[in-house]
Amino acid sequence: MIVHDKVSIGISACMYGSKVWHNREGWDLLEKMGCEADRIDWHPICPEIEAGLGAPRIPVQVMEGNGIDVWDDRATVMQGDRDITDQLKAACLQGLKRLQIADVHTYVFKETSPSCGVYQGSETSGQINRPPGVFGALLYREGFFLIPAEDLRDPLRWWDWRRRLFAYLWFQDQTILSLAEFYEAWHEMKFLCQELDYERARDMGKSFAQFDKKTPIANLEYQREQILDLLRKPSSLPRIEESLWKSHRFFCNELKIEIDESAEPSECVELKHLVEDVRAMEIVGAKQGVFFGGSPVLYRS
């Protein structure tokens, strides 16, 4: 499948180049994406700036917990000796509202941030911040597709996030009013889900096989959410490499391209070129009606 609608993505403002980090630094990671960055509508947000904390500023810290605990009223956010919990939560909710109004379902976040971080904690000047951050926890609960900003630098990781992102957006947007429509949509996602987590995808498939025409739409929607959750799950480098090679061999076979079956990548530069080859073969394959289940939805702006 090919989608053409321009995608909108939120991003931590410091990763967009805005000098809003606590020490007034900023990093333009979009330059690593080249012309592809111009095909996306970006929505930069910094919850701490929107909370009125300014830059430079005293770094904030989540005390006695993480962002999840903040939303469950079990932890506080401090800036020095000042409690800014309500102030930051209000700014996060406003940021979420802005993204929702713009129909944004994806966010590229600054890892280790006590606000935007999701998977990695940090320790600075004796301060320990445990993941996720306050804004990151809110977006995760709201079902956003979350991408670590540093992965925009890595062609292999970005290839993996990219293929799952467009599958996620496509599947999220499908109208499912019957079991037949659910099965049809699941069929498109199944192979990718199996690549990401075979055991979980297999268990899903077994449970779906037990459905009948009387299965409530609400149940199908719940299962859709489970599939979406699997699609946004981070993957490991070995698993991504394996998926990339599967895709490469599939297209070489379908497009009649000779390859050395014994060849394996040994250096990062080779993986970078392999990503470029696969991206190019996806384009050629699409023109011939050849698609690979590991990348079920291709994006062409």
Q: Are residues 98 and 198 in the same domain?
A: no
Percent of the chain with pLDDT over 70: 93
pLDDT digit string, tens, across residues 186-203: 999 999 999 999 999 999
DSSP strand pairing (7-12 vs 40-45): parallel
Q: Are residues 8 and 130 in the same domain?
A: yes
Q: Are residues 140 and 158 in the same domain?
A: no
Least confident of 67-71, 219-223, 267-271, 281-285: 267-271
Q: Are residues 12 and 64 in the same domain?
A: yes
Model confidence, pTM: 0.90
Q: Are residues 99 and 234 in the same domain?
A: no
Neighbouring C-alpha atoms within 13 Å toward the C-beta of 229 = 12
3-state secondary structure of 143: coil
pLDDT of residue 121: 62
Q: Are residues 126 and 103 in the same domain?
A: yes
Domain boundary among 88, 120, 152: 152
Q: Are residues 139 and 271 in the same domain?
A: no
Domain count, the chain: 2
pLDDT of residue 268: 52
Q: Are residues 131 and 92 in the same domain?
A: yes
Q: What is the mean pLDDT of the chain?
A: 90
Q: Are residues 177 and 274 in the same domain?
A: yes
pLDDT of residue 261: 56
Domain boundary among 134, 152, 170: 152
Domain boundary among 137, 152, 167: 152
Q: Are residues 7 and 87 in the same domain?
A: yes
Answer for the pair 13, 53: CB distance below 8 angstroms, yes or no. no
pLDDT of residue 272: 84
Handedness of CA 279, 280, 286, 288 (dihedral sign): negative
pLDDT digit string, tens, across residues 252-291: 999 988 766 555 555 555 788 899 999 999 989 988 989 9
Range of the domain at 179: 154-301
Element of type H or E holding 78: strand 76-79
pLDDT of residue 260: 61
Does 213 have pLDDT greater than 90? no
Alpha helices in 209-236 (DSSP H): 217-231
pLDDT of residue 108: 97
Q: Are residues 56 and 188 in the same domain?
A: no
pLDDT of residue 31: 85
Integer Cα distance of 194 and 191 in angstroms: 5
Does 123 have pLDDT greater than 60? no
Q: How confident is the model at residue 128 (pLDDT cuts 50, 70, 90)?
A: low
Q: Are residues 128 and 217 in the same domain?
A: no
